[in-house]
Amino acid sequence: MNIAVLTGGLSTERDVAITSGAKISTALREKGHNVVLIDVFMGYEKECTPEKLFSDNADLIDCNGVSENIPDINAVKAEREDKSDCFLGKNVIEICRCADITFFALHGGEGENGKLQATFDILGIKYTGADFLGAALAMDKGITKALFEQHKILTPKGEIFNKYDSTQDWNYFPCVIKPCSGGSSVGISKAENREQFEKALADAFKYEDSIVVEQFINGREFSVGILGNEVLPPIEIIPTTGFYDYKSKYQAGLTIEECPAKITKREDKTLRESALKAFKVLHLNAYARIDFILDENGDAYCLEANTLPGMTPTSLLPQEAEAVGMDYNELCEKIVELSLNK
């Protein structure tokens, strides 16, 4: 098949996306596919013959890995040759239309909030992962929380605040503050008191105008991947720094991950059943990853769903797939297969 791997973009998770995209491209080529790797924002400025790019297995973007620092998006915008503010770079649509399917190696922003999915639906371009509705529902943590509560999926109690709302009535500590539509723990903080809370609010509002504040659940952190109708073994995430932030997620050696996790049969069953229910409630399909906190009573608090899970060398979904005998290359091809049949 001809497969376009669409990566990059303008979210704070840009570097993560590019690292995922490069690895996915290599995997799909090793499975015998013709692959073009392209940045959704930068596009391809030269004269374009998509068929030739696929026959050449062209990489149209360089991958430098994930640094400790969040990307400077204004600097990225300044690098674009045509200086356009259009999210879709030159020749992106032409290349994707020439492909049998486009693999979305994107994280955050327009790559994951349903807008790109809806655009591709209108253009008749097949793509991997959730459709526009599922992506939009899962991207907004406020909507996700409301749906979880409506369908009796255990989730931490919380509230949504906009930039100019009063937050004086919030008096539950410790708590967690996070941007409503962010990812990779960008802008997330834990507050033990009012002073820390005010600082965390200011930090979160740098990224978005809406934030989620929720009770802190003391427990162990887990994630559960789903491939089609198959629920993968839960993986436990143990940050050596004490908090699973952006740096801990993508810098090797800062987090210990155990899969299959060392939990009881009851806890395993609770996590898997809750993950599958969340997957269905959010109208997801093909694949996703659902995040949890498991408290000392064995109760699984569902935090959020990731509709385009990371596929970097330190990412969780590939480790879960490996636990059931599926290597990275097979996982990438399985995602393509599930997405073609959704």
Q: Binning pLDDT at 50, 70 and 90, where does residue 250 land?
A: very low
Q: Is the pTM of this model over 0.75?
A: yes
Mean pLDDT within 181-199: 78
Rounded Cα distance, 87 and 45, in Å: 14
- Tell me, rounded to whole angstroms, the distance of Cα 298 from its chain centroid: 26
Pair 183, 208: CB distance under 8 Å? no
Domains of the chain, earliest start first:
2-127 (3.40.50.20), 138-153+218-340 (3.30.470.20), 158-215 (3.30.1490.20)
Predicted pLDDT of residue 169: 83
Residue 143, phi then psi, degrees to nearest 5: -65, -40
Query: What tokens appear for 150 in the block?
Result: 């409506």
Q: Give the lowest-confidence range in 27-41, 50-64, 166-180, 292-306.
A: 166-180
The percent of residues above 90 in pLDDT, for the chain, comes to 68
Predicted pLDDT of residue 68: 65
Q: Over 90: is that where the pLDDT of 239 sits?
A: no
Q: Binning pLDDT at 50, 70 and 90, where does residue 272 land?
A: very high
Residues whose CB falls within 8 Å of the CB of residue 281, separated by 6 or more in sequence, listed in order: 147, 148, 151, 153
> What pairs with residue 175 in β-bridges?
191, 215
Q: What is the pLDDT of residues 124-151, one digit of tens each?
A: 999 999 999 999 999 988 899 999 999 9
Predicted pLDDT of residue 70: 77
Pair 4, 102: CB distance under 8 Å? yes
Mean pLDDT within 62-72: 73
Predicted pLDDT of residue 171: 85
- Which is more confidently placed, 211 or 99? 99
The percent of residues above 70 in pLDDT, for the chain, comes to 93
CB atoms within 10 A of CB 55: 12
